[in-house]
Amino acid sequence: MAEVTEAVRAARTATGERRGGPQRWLPYLLLAPSVAYLLIFFASPMIQAFGLAFTSTTGGWGLESVRAMFGDDRFWPAVWTTLILLVVLLPLQFALALAMSMVITSRLRASGFWLYVFLLPLGVSELGAGILWYSIFVEQGWLNTVLQSLGLIDRPVIWLDYREPWRVIGTIVVAEAWRSTSLIVIILVGGLRAIPRDYLEAADVFHAGPWQRMRHVVLPMMRPTIRTALIVRTVLAFEVFATVVALGGTATDVLATQANRAYTEYQDAHLASAYGLVILLVSLVAVGIILVALPTRKERGQ
């Protein structure tokens, strides 16, 4: 026995574990590339954006760009549309994604096939999705053609009529739900597969119905996964851009389209950065709310 302990000690010494040699630095070394990546590609542009947002076109420090942003007639409509899209899309996509991931992880026939079908939109770029849905909703588009051939409408409906903002937002919701639900599906499928069989079998033993199983076993077990998915989806919701441009044109604004327009069309990097900051702040607040609303077991002190 003593020999074995001695051998282990010798091995540990050899690998430098106790002396704090190279082993001690190894984790930092391994982390270094990603830290450098984050610093160069995330932190430094973010700091530059702060600088740009609080300087004016003439170069001096000040709140000129921030004031210009708040003074823009399009600012508040853009904030509201962004929030409306988030509030409508988030529960809708979660319900859809949960149903889709249940289908994929079920032991039904062809459940693997559905994985491919559900994940297909991931391969389409945001702009591609915008153009695709534009060709569906436009006056001479596929939707009107189908509805007319079925005799449901007499003449084409102008779905993308900016005077009916809810209709336009509806088309954006459909396009976005189609495009980005699959991302949540991937995360949820991972969470579902990680639930140990024993728990589900235990639920069966106690004659739990499908709803009880979902409510008391699946959803609690998925809490960390759902939290991750919510955060990812929320952050992405603030960046929604191409589908809004394609379907809403210049009459429907969200924060990201405003930031883009400020930079590309008005050639004002300062104003664009001010919008970028607002997107960052709103995202941080939303993520904070999610973190507080859905604490993990450890955070709840259990």
Partner 1 sequence: MRLSRRQVLRLGLGAAASGLLAGCALDTTGAPGSQGSEGLVFYSTQLATTEEAEAVRRQILAGFGRQVQFVSDSSASKMFDRVRADARAGSSSIGLLGALQGEFATLAKEALLRDMTDVVEQLGDRGFTRQYLDLARVDGRYAFVPWISASYIMAARREALPFLPAGADLQRLTYTQLLDWTRAIQQATGAPRFGLPAGEKGLLKRFLQGYAYPSFTGGVNTTFASADAVGMWEWVRAVWGTANPQSVTYGFMQEPLLSGEVWVAWDHAVRLVDALETRPDDVVSFPAPTGPKGLGYLPVLGGLSIPRAVADPQPSIDLIRHLTDPARVSTTLRTVAWFPPQDLATIPGGLPPGVGQEAETLQRMVGTPGAVASSLAVGLGGQSGAYDKVFTDAFRAIVLDGGDIGGTLATQAVALQGVLDTAKAACWAPDPVGEGVCRVG
Q: Is 247 in the site for partner 1 (CB under 8 A)?
A: yes
Q: d(Cα 159, Cα 145) in Å, to the nearest integer?
A: 13
Q: Is 123 in the site for partner 1 (CB under 8 A)?
A: yes
- Which C-beta is closer to partner 1: that of 33 or that of 123? 123
Q: Which of 5, 34, 58, 302 binds partner 1 (CB under 8 A)?
A: 58
Q: Is 61 in the site for partner 1 (CB under 8 A)?
A: no
Q: Which of 20, 27, 91, 112 binds partner 1 (CB under 8 A)?
A: 112
For partner 1, which stretch binds (CB under 8 A), given 17-25, 59-67, 177-185, 242-250? 242-250
For partner 1, which stretch binds (CB under 8 A), given 30-38, 90-98, 209-217, 240-248? 240-248
Q: Is 73 in the site for partner 1 (CB under 8 A)?
A: yes
Q: Is 162 in the site for partner 1 (CB under 8 A)?
A: yes
Least distance from C-beta 290 to partner 1, angstroms?
32
Binding to partner 1 (CB under 8 A) within 193-222 occurs at: none
Q: Between vectors from CA 208 to CA 206 and to CA 209, what angle results, nearest 5°?
A: 155
Q: Is 127 in the site for partner 1 (CB under 8 A)?
A: no
Q: Which of 54, 75, 133, 134 binds partner 1 (CB under 8 A)?
A: 134
Q: Is 104 in the site for partner 1 (CB under 8 A)?
A: no
Q: Is 70 in the site for partner 1 (CB under 8 A)?
A: no
Binding to partner 1 (CB under 8 A) within 140-159 occurs at: 140, 155, 158
Per-position DSSP letters for the chain, written without gaps between them: -HHHHHHHHHHHHHTTTTTT-HHHHHHHHHHHHHHHHHIIIIIHHHHHHHHHHTB-TTS-BSSHHHHHHHHSTTHHHHHHHHHHHHHHHHHHHHHHHHHHHHHHHS--TTHHHHHHHHHGGGGS-HHHHHHHHHHHHSTTSHHHHHHHHTTS-SS---TT-TTSHHHHHHHHHHHHHHHHHHHHHHHHHHHHHTS-HHHHHHHHHTT--HHHHIIIIIHHHTHHHHHHHHHHHHHHHTT--HHHHHHHTTTS--HHHHHHHHHHTS--HHHHHHHHHHHHHHHHHHHHHHHHHS--TTTTT-
Q: d(Cα 236, Cα 128) in Å, to the nearest integer?
A: 17
Instruction: Tell me the longest C-alpha to C-alpha distance in the chain.
Output: 92
Q: Is 167 in the site for partner 1 (CB under 8 A)?
A: no
Least distance from C-beta 121 to partner 1, angstroms?
12
- Which C-beta is closer to partner 1: that of 116 or that of 211? 116
Q: Which of 249, 284, 289, 295 binds partner 1 (CB under 8 A)?
A: 249
Q: Is 268 in the site for partner 1 (CB under 8 A)?
A: yes
Q: d(Cα 95, Cα 55) in Å, to the nearest integer?
A: 44
Q: Is 264 in the site for partner 1 (CB under 8 A)?
A: yes
> What is the binding site for partner 1 (CB under 8 A)?
57-58, 73-74, 112-113, 116, 123, 134, 138-140, 155, 158, 160-163, 245-251, 261, 264-268
